[in-house]
């Protein structure tokens, strides 16, 4: 019996000690838990004070190199292609004025020389009569005759000063034969094709030795001395620049300049962007059609706007003001957005607003302000 009472007393003591331990744990840990809970509910943010300023902005995108022009070379006469000073091969470069395609012209050249010779003979037979009938005009016709040569183009025909002189020349075929020779001279030029610009052969359809047919393609050439870049711009941003706007093209050598040459008046159906063409001057650079470059197109100057880091603009064009330690949602008018910043209107100057990204922000959320450099204090 005595032993049973001792066991009951020991059990009661154990229960009292255990209950006291639980009580002490709850008393000690409860404030800590509540304190930690309070800490977790406060989000510390970087903030900035709203101030209206003017900013110069630029639109950044990629642009592709396009040749200034692509021209199809064809022949106006049927003749055999012969070797010229510029190799008729894809990728061959040339300068403006170079002979690109030379056609066999020996027959045409011989016929022209014969026609010049006949004309010289015709005119020589008229010189003595001209001296008698038109003594005041004799010197000019004599000087004209002395300038004639079977190897050179005819000089300009002397001016005819009277109807009588015109009739005299017409009856003797002096004028008609002159223009017959001139036509042959023009036809001979069709046996040679010269470069209209600096460029390169992009395709070659006929080789040396082949017969070029009238109108048939011989080659295509691409202009290289006046390249353009083609950029695709989001429609909402096109209104911020115009033809003549300055463009900076970035490359490994520090970049080069260009200007907006043309802006398409429509949106491309495939890309849903507006094509903007940029003219560039590239001394010492070898740009190749199809290359991609990053460009910055100088846009308009924005007047009296607020600039915040782009990540500080939340859904539905909302920013969050810091008011009495809590977040307050504020609607904003978005004027422009670039890679780093959002430019806004509709915010009251002097308002303290969140200047960084937040996870699941909500109106009324308790916050604390971080000291130090603000998120919107990035340099220009």
Are 210 and 320 members of one domain?
no
Same domain? 173 vs 310: no
Q: DSSP for 206-222?
A: S-TTSEEPBT-EEEEEE
Q: In what order do the strands lie in the sheet containing 217-223?
A: 70-74, 217-223, 199-204, 93-94
Residue 168 in any domain: the answer is yes
Q: Are residues 77 and 213 in the same domain?
A: yes
pLDDT of residue 252: 80
> Does 376 reside within a domain?
no
Q: What is the CATH number of the domain that holds 92?
A: 2.40.50.100
CATH code: domain of residue 235: 2.40.30.170
278 in the same domain as 231: yes
- Whether the predicted pLDDT of 379 surpasses 60: no
Residue 141 lies in a domain: yes
Give the CA distances from residue 68 to residues 2, 91, 160, 245, 249, in Å, rounded to whole numbers and listed in that order.
Answer: 115, 16, 46, 19, 17
Other beta carbons less than 10 A from residue 203's beta carbon = 14
Residue 3 has pLDDT above 60, yes or no: no
pLDDT tens profile 195-248: 999 889 999 999 999 999 999 999 999 888 777 899 999 998 999 989 999 999
**Pair 94, 205 in one domain:** yes
240: tokens are 């911020």
d(CA 2, CA 6): 6
Domain count, the chain: 4
222-258 CB burial, b ≥16 within 10 A, e <16: bbbebbbbebbbeeebbebbeeebebebeeeeeebeb
Which of 12-16, 62-66, 152-156 has the highest mean predicted lDDT (pLDDT)? 152-156
pLDDT > 90 fraction of the chain, expressed in percent and rounded? 69
> How confident is the model over 97-115, as a mean pLDDT?
96
Within a domain: residue 2?
no
Give the span between the Cα atoms of 86 and 93, in whole angstroms.
8
Contact present, 221 and 193 (Cβ < 8 Å): no
Question: Does residue 125 surpass a pLDDT of 90?
Answer: yes
96-125 burial code (b ≥16 CB/10 A, e <16): eeeebbbbbbeebeeebeebbeebbeebee
CB 354 within 8 A of CB 47: yes
Using the predicted structure, report yes or no on whether residue 38 has a pLDDT greater than 50: no
pLDDT at 67: 77
SS3 of the chain: helix, strand, coil, percent, to 5: 30, 35, 35
Residue 315 has pLDDT above 50, yes or no: yes
Write the CATH number for 340.
2.40.420.20
**H-run or E-run covering 337:** strand 333-337
Q: How far is CA 51 from CA 343, 344, 358, 376, 377, in A?
A: 11, 11, 22, 12, 12
Indicate if 310 and 293 belong to the same structural domain.
Answer: no
Residue 113 has pLDDT above 90, yes or no: yes
**Distance of CA 293 to CAs 65, 227, 253, 288, Å?**
8, 13, 12, 11
Task: Compute the distance between CA of residue 373 and CA of residue 211 in angstroms, rounded to an integer.
Answer: 76
137 and 204 in a single domain? The answer is no
The pLDDT of residue 25 is 56
Residue 284 pLDDT: 61
Inform me whether the pLDDT recorded for 378 exceeds 70: no
Bridge-based pairing state of the strands 43-45 and 367-369:
parallel
The per-residue pLDDT for 221 is: 94
Q: Kindly report the backbone phi and psi dihedral angles of residue 35, in degrees, each rounded to the nearest multiple of 5, phi listed first.
A: -65, -45
Let me know whether 114 and 137 are in one domain. yes
pLDDT, tens digit, 9 for 90 and up, residues 328-351: 999 999 999 988 999 999 999 999
* Residue 202, in any domain of the structure: yes
Pair 214, 81 in one domain: yes
Domain range for 261 is: 60-66+225-301
The verdict on 179 and 125 lying in the same domain is yes
Per-residue confidence band for 370, with pLDDT thresholds at 50, 70 and 90:
confident
Same domain, 154 and 199: no
Does residue 376 carry a pLDDT above 60? no
Handedness of CA 116, 122, 123, 124 (dihedral sign): positive
Phi, psi of 370 (to 5 degrees): -80, 140
pLDDT at 90: 94
- Whether 229 maps to a domain, the answer reads yes
Does any domain span residue 6? no
Is 332 a domain residue?
yes
Q: What is the pLDDT of residues 303-312, one digit of tens each?
A: 999 999 999 9
Residues 100 and 196 in one domain: yes
């Amino acid at each position: 019996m005595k032993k049973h009472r001792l066991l009951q007393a020991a059990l009661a003591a154990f229960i009292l000690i255990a209950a006291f331990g639980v009580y002490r744990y709850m008393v000690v840990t409860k404030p800590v838990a509540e304190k930690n809970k309070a800490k977790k509910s406060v989000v510390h943010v970087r903030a900035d004070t709203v101030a209206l300023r003017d900013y110069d902005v630029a639109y950044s995108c990629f642009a592709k190199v396009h040749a200034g022009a692509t021209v199809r070379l064809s022949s106006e006469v049927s003749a055999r292609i012969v070797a010229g000073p510029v190799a008729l091969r894809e990728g061959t470069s040339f300068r403006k004025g170079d002979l690109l395609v030379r056609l066999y012209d020996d027959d045409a050249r011989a016929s022209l020389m014969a026609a010049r010779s006949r004309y010289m003979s015709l005119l020589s037979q008229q010189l003595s009569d001209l001296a008698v009938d038109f003594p005041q005009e004799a010197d000019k016709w004599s000087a004209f005759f002395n300038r004639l040569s079977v190897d050179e183009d005819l000089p300009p025909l002397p001016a005819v000063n009277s109807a009588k002189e015109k009739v005299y020349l017409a009856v003797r075929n002096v004028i008609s034969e002159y223009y017959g020779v001139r036509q042959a001279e023009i036809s001979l030029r069709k046996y040679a094709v010269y470069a209209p610009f600096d460029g390169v052969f992009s395709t070659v359809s006929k080789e040396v030795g082949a017969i070029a047919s009238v109108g048939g393609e011989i080659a295509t050439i691409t202009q290289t001395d006046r390249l353009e870049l083609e950029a695709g711009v989001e429609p909402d941003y096109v209104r911020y620049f115009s033809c003549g706007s300055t463009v900076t093209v970035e490359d490994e050598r520090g970049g080069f300049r260009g200007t907006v040459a043309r802006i398409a008046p429509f949106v491309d159906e495939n890309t849903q962007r507006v094509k903007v063409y940029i003219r560039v001057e590239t001394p010492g650079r070898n740009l190749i059609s199809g290359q991609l470059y990053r460009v910055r197109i100088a846009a308009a100057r924005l007047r009296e706007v607020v600039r915040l880091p782009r990540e500080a603009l939340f859904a539905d064009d909302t920013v969050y003001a810091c008011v009495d330690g809590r977040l307050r949602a504020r609607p904003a008018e978005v004027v422009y957005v670039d890679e780093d910043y959002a430019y806004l209107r509709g915010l009251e100057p002097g308002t303290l607003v969140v200047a960084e990204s937040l996870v699941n922000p909500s109106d009324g959320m308790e916050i604390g302000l971080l000291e130090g450099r603000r998120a919107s204090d990035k340099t220009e």
